[in-house]
Amino acid sequence: MQTDLSRIALRPFRLSDADDVLSFGGDDQVTRVLRGFKTLTTKDEALNFIKNVCSPHPWRRSICIDDRSIGFVTMFPGSGDDRHKADTGYALAARYWGQGITTKAVKTALSQVFKDYPDLQSFVAVENKASQRVLDKVGFQREGVLRKYLYLKGDIKDMVVYSFLSSDLSNDLSSDELITHPSSRDEGRP
């Protein structure tokens, strides 16, 4: 059944999300492409993940449906001379895939972080077509492929690098409408 996207919202994680976080964070389908994310096996691990990873993080939000956690969007800010930019990451519980939920969540995240992180980038394994499609739909620009760029769960991977620069937007950054329809970038999508 198609989810009504008006039920989707972002908020910080809470300890009470532990069962829901274990549900998607304990699923290898979701975690096998997440760098540095060890698949969760117990509720205690989920609680520790929320306490030690999510809560102190500069910008990690729970993707929620009716306030229940079903995934996350993360902006990893750069530091020093790289502080203008952030790396964008996300994941969603498998039972909700293919309904546009992550695309909506990332668009919402962009509208919230652009003032702090005007230059966003994202790195996606070449074989992760669903994730590339999300970035295409949001309006990220595909920059190219970095060959044998990093280790992901024990394998060295070619990574597609994407960017979304606030300077590419022509009007008021606070407008959700602009984030939803970011210039003409989406026209050339596959």
Q: Are 121 and 88 in contact (CB under 8 A)?
A: yes
Which pair of tokens denotes residue 62?
């729970």
Q: How far is residue 82 CA from its own chain's centroid? A: 19
Task: Say which amino acid occupies 159.
Answer: M
Least distance between ligand COA and beta carbon 15 (Å): 23
Least distance between ligand COA and beta carbon 96 (Å): 6
For 42, half-sphere exposure in the C-beta direction (CA atoms, 13 angstrom radius) is 3
Q: Distance (Å, rounded) from C-alpha 146 to C-alpha 56?
A: 30
Give the nearer residue to ligand COA in terms of CB position, either 62 or 103: 103
Query: What is the rounded end-to-end Cα distance, in angstroms, of the chain?
Result: 25
- Applying CB under 6 A, does 128 fall inside the site for ligand COA? yes
- Applying CB under 6 A, does 129 fall inside the site for ligand COA? yes
Cα separations (Å) of 10 from 69, 94, 174? 9, 18, 17
- Applying CB under 6 A, does 30 fall inside the site for ligand COA? yes
User: Among all chains, which residue has been given the structure tokens 């306030």?
Assistant: 67
- Applying CB under 6 A, does 150 fall inside the site for ligand COA? no
Q: What is the DSSP string of 55-69?
A: TTSSSEEEEEETTEE
Give the nearer residue to ligand COA in terms of CB position, either 133 or 185: 133
Q: Are 185 and 139 in contact (CB under 8 A)?
A: yes
Least distance between ligand COA and beta carbon 75 (Å): 13
Which pair of tokens denotes residue 39?
């698949």
- Applying CB under 6 A, does 163 fall inside the site for ligand COA? no
Least distance between ligand COA and beta carbon 164 (Å): 14
Footprint of ligand COA on 69-98 (CB under 6 A): 90-92, 97-98
**Contact region with ligand COA (CB under 6 A), list: 11-19, 43-51, 101-109, 177-185:** 101-109
- Applying CB under 6 A, does 159 fall inside the site for ligand COA? no
- Applying CB under 6 A, does 131 fall inside the site for ligand COA? yes
Residue count, binding to ligand COA (CB under 6 A): 20
Residues that bind ligand COA (CB under 6 A): 30, 33-34, 90-92, 97-103, 124, 128-131, 133-134
